[in-house]
Amino acid sequence: MPAYDRSRPGTPLSRAVPDPRRWEPMSPTTTAPSSVRRAALRRVFLPLLSAAALLMAAVTPADARPGLVDSAGQGGVVVRTELGLVRGVSHGAYATFEGLPYAAPPTGPLRWHAPVPAAAWQGIRDATQPAQRCVQMPAPGTGVGGPSDAGAVVGSEDCLYLNVTVPATKTAGKKRPVLVWMHGGAFLGGSGSDYGAERLAVQGDAVVVTVNYRLGIFGYFGHAALGTVPPFGLADQQAALRWVRSNALRFGGDPGKVTLFGESAGAIGICAHLTSPTAAGLFQSAVLQSGSCLTSFPRGALAPGTPAYEPFATQTDVQTAGAEAARQLGCTEGAAREVLTCLRGQSTGRLATAQLMQSFNRPAYGNGLLPVAPDKALRAGRFHRVPVVLGTNHDEMRMFVGVSLGAFPLRTESDYRARLTEAFGPAAAAVEAQYPAARHGSPALAWAAALTDRSFTCTTLAAGRAIAAHAPDLPLYAYAFSDREAPVLAGLPTNPGFPYGAAHGFEMPYLFPSFPTERPLTGEQSALSDRMVGYWTNFARTGNPNTAGAPRWPAFRVSSPLRPSVQSLASGRGGIRPVDAFTAHGCSLWDRLANEPPANRSGL
């Protein structure tokens, strides 16, 4: 069984599991290798393309200085990529290039195959419209599809495309930092084109890339007939990063200064890449928003009766689920090749059912991309030594609880205790003592607070402590998005007496201003947005979020978890300041419960 050689990133990821003893973490100076939420609240954002505002620039040969070029008076902003010329659109202060292929369509024999390079093309490829999103199912309130589309299939298997947003101004030879965004969506939904990156690009003077990657059964399927394979969705993300490394300079970006950032499932995936040998050299810093390798949910967290959720699966887990899927699809006869041919012959629509999609939303480990479980790797210090920002929103779980209250009301203390018992078993009384309904204003708000702390805030702080324990000199920063008057994301139900506060995803419009909300940001919130964009992009540029004139953001410290080293991000005077998140979110309780024997902590 050959050991993994990280100097050969082209080695197929479906090969035997590498010897983890041969893997070494990447440092910020590592030379790049020589050769690669449920769908809730991911809104479709299609940038308005204006043909009247085209940027004109001089034609530049492929081997000259990088930057924007013009197609000899034909209009449109043109860049010569590694695979061919692409024409984007100027929006005045910035330009966009959408639907750029970073891998071949994963269809036919390439369904459930590691991504392979896209083919080159002749002429100029149109990059003025977003590509199809990866196959997913619309659901009420997601903004994906119309009101009559619930249960229909949205998107295409031919979806491995990315989008690039660049400032219009020339850099006179200076290379810009590159931020690569991985969307959230529980590994079941979302699209890179949902996020307009113009503010980050223009205000932060950065190149911003947003990425589509395979979802659900198409991205995380496993079956004995396939053998040991990587989680295809995460392999797609690494293929996109290889594309960025090869093409960043052509858009004025610095291929040696790539920051990987994402939210929810996007952040969980990024944390996995921090532990992945095959990600060595592909990014130089990371921002994890509302997700980490340690994020998980207890039983009944999303609704009564829902199972506990851990973000990563074993090969046995996915192959068992795959065998059941094959049985349902009638693909059980014959040898492995016949079974696989039958599975790959199924229509997209037959595979994209709610049951099958939701059976495959956990990346598997025990393969070349993820040799060991990312949570265990992180705690053992097996992660790339790159600067990290990680954080959560103050009221994360209010989004999930608020969406479920119509179908599953939570009005009485009896309702509350039933939820606590389902989730925490013998520890329910201890949890209720720390989160009494009276203190939080209602049973529903108390339930959301307990889940926020258990599933998001305290697990994220634990991830930060793990990083700091093994790499005490690593630049590491933590934040708490705490603007509790943040605009409510469009499409969320209204629940009297249940304010959303700073819920899951509510920081999105502060970074991506076109993200749909029920109202625009106020003046003070726009000022907070300015600060956040400055922090994020300066971190991408220097590995330190601090900028001149902004409130100082202290580094995260592990020596004293009670030290106020988490930066609170809220609007208004004094809203940006260090806070003691560990105490404010009751993390000592959750740390203690997590260390108790399994019989005493039930779904914890």
As annotated, the active-site residues are 264, 396, 504
**For 24-91, where are the alpha helices, taking DSSP H only?**
none
For the beta carbon of residue 25, count every other beta carbon within 10 angstroms. 18
- Is 78 buried (19+), middle (13-18) or exposed (0-12) by CB count in 10 A? buried
Q: Which residue in 512, 450, 467, 130 sits closest to 270, CA to CA? A: 467
Which residues sit opposite 96 in a β-bridge?
A: 89, 165
Residue recorded with tokens 């004995």:
224
Which DSSP string corresponds to 390-438? EEEETTTTHHHHHHHTTTS---SHHHHHHHHHHHHGGGHHHHHHHS-HH
Residue type, 174: K
Instruction: Report yes or no: 159 and 214 within 8 Å, Cβ to Cβ.
Output: yes
**For 209-335, where are the alpha helices, taking DSSP H only?**
216-220, 232-247, 265-274, 315-329
Which residues sit opposite 309 in a β-bridge?
A: 297
Q: Is 247 helix (H, G, I), strand (E, B) or coil?
A: helix
CA distance 96 to 74: 17
Residue recorded with tokens 């608020």:
402
Which DSSP state fits 487?
P
- Residues with Cβ within 8 Å of 144's Cβ and at least 6 positions away in sequence, in order, are 39, 42, 43, 44, 133, 136, 138, 154, 189
Beta strands in 197-312 (DSSP E): 207-211, 253-263, 285-289
Q: What is the b/e burial string over 423-452, where b = at least 16 CB atoms within 10 angstroms of the residue's CB?
A: bbbebbeebbeebebeebebbbbbbbbbbb
CA distance 475 to 467: 10
Q: Which residue in 119, 207, 208 sits closest to 160, CA to CA? A: 119
CA distance 196 to 9: 31
Residue type, 30: T
Per the document, the length of the chain is 604
Q: What does each C-alpha distance from 133 to 52, 138, 190, 291 come to in angstroms? A: 27, 12, 7, 22
Q: Is 570 helix (H, G, I), strand (E, B) or coil?
A: coil
